[in-house]
Amino acid sequence: MAPLQQSNQPWVEKYRPKQVKDVAHQDEVVRVLSNTLETSSCPHMLFYGPPGTGKTTTALAIAHQLFGPDLYKARVLELNASDDRGINVVRTKIKDFASIAVATAVRQGAYPCPPFKIIILDEADSMTEDAQNALRRTMETYSKVTRFFFICNYISRIIEPLASRCAKFRFKPLPEDIMSTRISHICNEEGLNLDDEALSTLSSISQGDLRRAITYLQGAARLFGSSISAKNLISVSGVIPQDVVQGLLAACKSGDFELANREVNNAIAEGYPASQMLSQLFDIIVQADDISDEQKARICSKLGESDKCLIDGADEYLQLIDVSSNTMRALCNMPQELSY
């Protein structure tokens, strides 16, 4: 039964680093936390950065390396703040766990087992401001017996009194070479064949998110077998093919509204998400050499407005055609506003 469970395990979990030193591309963080493991001196910590860069993995790894399998459940409380984020959770579950003292440090084999507990708050930027304020006193009162690990994508959403009580660690997006090395290792372990183009494409569409890259890779392996091409990865990821986005931009450059409308209708009919189209259109326009800075500013301003409208539930066709018409005006130097 065990081998079957292992084979069905998501690769994100299967290849998750078990030790701090195995976390990729976060050298400064690994260096500081390795020292923490040696000295067992651990401050409150705040891990922040883009998704899929190793924040949760690092927090879980250091907790496991401090306490080992025997004491982990008794000494570590994991909470996902997107579920448990109200003030009542802080006043009950967190406070009750934090207030209970633990035995003095007793080293068990390779595990230092320091005389404190750890509370890991994942997605802490989803916590309400009241809940974060309630944590301030708890952190101070029980600092001798409890340490807090906050994990978030946006440090600006953590109130300053909490952030100032923590040692901050920024996790950087993974560059293409690091991502390719890790993906190549997984391919070797799983018997997959990826060429250089497919590796580069996977790194590009993942945008520094290793978790997303591994998920795309596993999805492609399930669908297409052991030999995976760049086209396979694009179809699995939901990224819009570059020629579709370029086709819409070319229609806007032509000044032909009917052609742009046809491209928009084709994109909608193919089921491509409008938000993804705006994101890829933005990347192309910003990098384009044949578009002036003034034109880029006008187009990007409209892209931002339409993206907000889509988040609020606006119709995808109307937003894409609105972006297309405004892009056409900007590129063909038409007046920004029509006068009646």
Last residue of a domain, one of 115, 144, 170: 170
In tens, the pLDDT along 193-232 reads: 888 888 888 888 888 888 889 999 998 998 888 888 888 8
Contact yes or no for 84/204 (Cβ under 8 A): no
336 inside domain: no
pLDDT of residue 5: 42
339 inside domain: no
pLDDT of residue 7: 56
The CATH number linked to 248 is: 1.20.272.10
Q: Please check whether residues 194 and 160 belong to one and the same domain.
A: no
pLDDT of residue 324: 92
In tens, the pLDDT along 234-260 reads: 888 888 888 899 999 999 998 889 999
Question: Which residues are within 8 A (CB) of 192 and not within 5 positions of it... i.e. 6 or more apart?
Answer: 186, 217, 221, 226, 227, 228
The pLDDT > 70 percentage for the chain reads: 92
Q: Please check whether residues 196 and 162 belong to one and the same domain.
A: no
Last residue of a domain, one of 191, 213, 237: 237
Task: Indicate the burial class of 28 (C-beta count within 10 angstroms; 0-12, 13-18, 19 or more).
Answer: exposed
**Residues linked to residue 79 through DSSP beta bridges, in sequence order:** 121
Q: Please check whether residues 143 and 187 belong to one and the same domain.
A: no
Q: Please check whether residues 21 and 158 belong to one and the same domain.
A: yes
Strands (E), the chain: 45-48, 76-80, 117-122, 146-152, 167-170, 193-194, 227-228
The CATH number linked to 41 is: 3.40.50.300
Count of domains forming the chain: 3
Q: Please check whether residues 160 and 46 belong to one and the same domain.
A: yes
CA-CA distance, 270 to 316, in Å (whole number)?
A: 13
Task: Enumerate helices (H) and strands (E) in the chain, giving the number of each.
Answer: 17, 7
pLDDT of residue 6: 45
Q: Please check whether residues 33 and 62 belong to one and the same domain.
A: yes
pLDDT of residue 34: 82
pLDDT of residue 84: 61
Look up residue 125 and give its two tokens. 């930027």
337 inside domain: no
Last residue of a domain, one of 208, 237, 266: 237
pLDDT of residue 2: 39
212 inside domain: yes
Q: Please check whether residues 85 and 181 belong to one and the same domain.
A: no
Q: Please check whether residues 203 and 293 belong to one and the same domain.
A: no
Q: Which residues of the chain have pLDDT under 50?
A: 1-6, 338-340
Q: Please check whether residues 225 and 135 belong to one and the same domain.
A: no
What is the residue range of 280's domain? 242-331
In which region does residue 40 sit, left (phi positive, over 0), alpha (psi from -120 to 50) or beta (all else)? Answer: left
10 inside domain: yes
CA-CA distance, 325 to 274, in Å (whole number)?
A: 15
77 inside domain: yes
**Residues linked to residue 146 through DSSP beta bridges, in sequence order:** 117
22 inside domain: yes
220 inside domain: yes
Q: Please check whether residues 163 and 192 belong to one and the same domain.
A: no
The CATH number linked to 189 is: 1.10.8.60
Q: Please check whether residues 12 and 86 belong to one and the same domain.
A: yes
CA-CA distance, 138 to 72, in Å (whole number)?
A: 22
Q: Please check whether residues 13 and 161 belong to one and the same domain.
A: yes
pLDDT of residue 335: 62
